[in-house]
Structures are given as C-alpha cells and as structure tokens.
Amino acid sequence: MRVLVVWAHPLEDSYSAALCRAAVDALQGSGHAVDLWDLYREGFRPALSAEERRHYHDVTRNRATVAADIERVRAAEALVLVFPTWNFGFPAILKGWFDRVLIPGIGFHMGPTGLRPGLTNIRRLAAVTTFGAKAWMVRFVVGHPVKKLVTRGLRPMCAAGAACDWLALYDMNGNSPADREAHLARVQDTLQAW
C-alpha cells in the first residue's frame, strides 16, 4: 500500500520526530511504500492567499497553486498524520495543509444533496499525536476536538469503511520516559499490522 505520512513539527530532535521515524520505519518494514511529507522542512505555506480564497469553491481553478501537493494526496492509499496537539488543536501548519490541499473537488465534493467524500483513494487513516494535558481534561472538559475532527471530519472524506487508528499519548507534561517508550512501541505495533 502507498502511505502518505504528513508530519507537522518544527523540531527534528523532538519526541514527535521520534514518533514520525517510528511510523515510517514500521510501515516500510511491513512492505508499504511511504511518501514522507515533512511540512516544515519542505517549506509548506499554510496560509491561504487572497487569490486562493477567492477561487476556493471553483474546482477548475482552486488547485492551481497546490497541484503537486494534490498529486501526492491522490497517489496515496493511506494517510498517517503525525503531529503534536497544541492548545487543544492542530499545529497551524497542519491546519493550513487541510485548508489549502483538501479543497473542494479534492477532499470533498459539494452538490445539491450535500457533501460527498473526495478522498476515496484513502482506505486507511491514522493520527499519531501527543497532548500536554491529561486525557480526562481533553475528553471531558474540552470535548476532544482534534479526535473529533479526525474521526468525524476527515474520516468521512475517505473511502467508505476506511479504518481509522487514533494513537494519542496524553499528559506529555507529566508522563515518564517509560510512558513515551510504550507509546512509540504502540505506534510501531499498530502500523506494522497494516
């Protein structure tokens, strides 16, 4: 399977970088072809320009500035997002990736009967993330917005019945090195089984 791994963290020596390496190694070790999209090192520009916003709903024009990016998404059969959760949301660069690349006609189709999925080439989805907050706070106080966006927003844009793995480590501000090693192992084990 061809897997697009989208990584969103500015530091190459971060725990997120270790998670990204673990994901890529596990997938390649299982024989998958991996396209690693390192948003920071590749200089992805997350902000919509005025021109892009003006033509956002025009599916014949909206892809002009991101055509190569769209081809990477269309070539994939699976998508793995690796990112930290900051302020209970996606890093700005990843949110901008959604805004600029998963546009009408690509991520979804709009019509008289509502929205239809556009990422029907994506049969498998995973989110590999970390939270500084404890799980109870994320779930019950804030309502788990990032998980909902992945499982209820992004997943329905994919192929019908697309499997989705949620691989989150909570309480980064208080967990131990053993907790982090266990999470790395969980990411590897999950993705090796794909």
Our count of domains for the chain comes to: 1
Taking only the tens place, the pLDDT of each residue in 82-118 is 999 999 999 999 999 999 999 999 999 988 888 899 9
On the question of pLDDT at 12 being above 90, the answer is yes
The rounded mean pLDDT for the chain is: 96
Residue 2: predicted pLDDT: 98
Angle between helices 15-29 and 177-192 (to 10 degrees): 30
Taking only the tens place, the pLDDT of each residue in 116-149 is 999 999 999 999 999 999 999 999 998 999 999 9
Report DSSP state, residue 42: T
Burial of 175 (0-12, 13-18, 19+ CB in 10 A): middle
Taking only the tens place, the pLDDT of each residue in 142-183 is 899 999 999 999 999 999 999 999 999 999 989 999 999 999
Taking only the tens place, the pLDDT of each residue in 56-69 is 999 999 999 999 99
Give residues with Cβ within 8 angstroms of 126, minimum separation 6.
Answer: 23, 78, 79, 80, 81, 164, 165, 166, 167, 190, 191
Query: Cα(6)–Cα(44) distance, rounded to whole angstroms?
Result: 11
pLDDT average, residue stretch 11-15: 97
Query: Cα(34)–Cα(36) distance, rounded to whole angstroms?
Result: 6
| pTM of the predicted structure, to 2 decimals | 0.96
Residue 89: predicted pLDDT: 95
Residue 186: predicted pLDDT: 98
pLDDT average, residue stretch 26-48: 98
Extract the tokens encoding 57: 């709903």
Print the domain residue range for 12. 2-192
Residue 118: predicted pLDDT: 96
Residue 111: predicted pLDDT: 86
Residue 114: predicted pLDDT: 86
Q: What CATH number has the domain bearing residue 113?
A: 3.40.50.360
